[in-house]
């Protein structure tokens, strides 16, 4: 894993099922599938410095239209932290 993604925060009680480095267009990202409190979902994680010039909608657009990951009826959530921006999708409840 590249240095910029070595400290991705994981919330307590969250189990990471899959974590893979990838690229979306020219952006380095990490794709994760995770499980927390009866919810399984997926995330694409960007390094904030890489997407500093993009809006929330532009980042969601990159994930939704430039990957085959997001299911057609999936809601996308967005969270910008200190170092990383998370776009979460494909939520399934147990």
Whether residue 29 is contained in a domain is answered as yes
Whether residue 36 is contained in a domain is answered as yes
Domain span including residue 43: 13-93
Q: For residues 27 and 46, give the distance between their C-alpha atoms in angstroms, rounded to a whole number.
A: 8
Whether residue 2 is contained in a domain is answered as no
Whether residue 7 is contained in a domain is answered as no
What the block records as the tokens of 19 is 């974590």
- Give the model's confidence band at 13: pLDDT under 50 very low, under 70 low, under 90 confident, else very high: very high
- Give the model's confidence band at 1: pLDDT under 50 very low, under 70 low, under 90 confident, else very high: low
Of 68, 74, 75, nearest to 31 by C-alpha is 68
3-14: average pLDDT: 92
Q: Is the pTM of this model over 0.85?
A: yes
Whether residue 56 is contained in a domain is answered as yes
> In three state form, how does the secondary structure of 1-18 look?
CCHHHCCCCCCCCCEEEE
Structural domains counted in the chain: 1
5-18: average pLDDT: 94
Q: Is pLDDT of 62 > 60? A: yes
Could you identify the residue written with the tokens 């994981």? 10
- Give the model's confidence band at 17: pLDDT under 50 very low, under 70 low, under 90 confident, else very high: very high
Q: For residues 70 and 49, give the distance between their C-alpha atoms in angstroms, rounded to a whole number.
A: 24
pLDDT of amino acid 94: 85
CATH of the domain at 57: 3.30.200
CA distances to 9, 19, 59 from 66, in Å: 25, 19, 10
């Amino acid at each position: 894993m590249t240095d910029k993604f070595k400290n991705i925060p994981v919330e307590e009680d969250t189990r990471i099922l899959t974590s893979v480095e990838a690229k979306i267009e020219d952006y380095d990202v990490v794709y994760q599938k995770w499980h927390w409190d009866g919810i399984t979902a997926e995330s694409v994680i960007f390094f904030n410095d890489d997407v500093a010039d993009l809006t929330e909608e532009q980042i969601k657009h990159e994930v939704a239209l430039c990957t085959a990951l997001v299911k057609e009826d999936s809601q996308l959530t967005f969270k910008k932290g200190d170092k990383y921006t998370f776009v979460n999708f494909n939520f399934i409840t147990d």
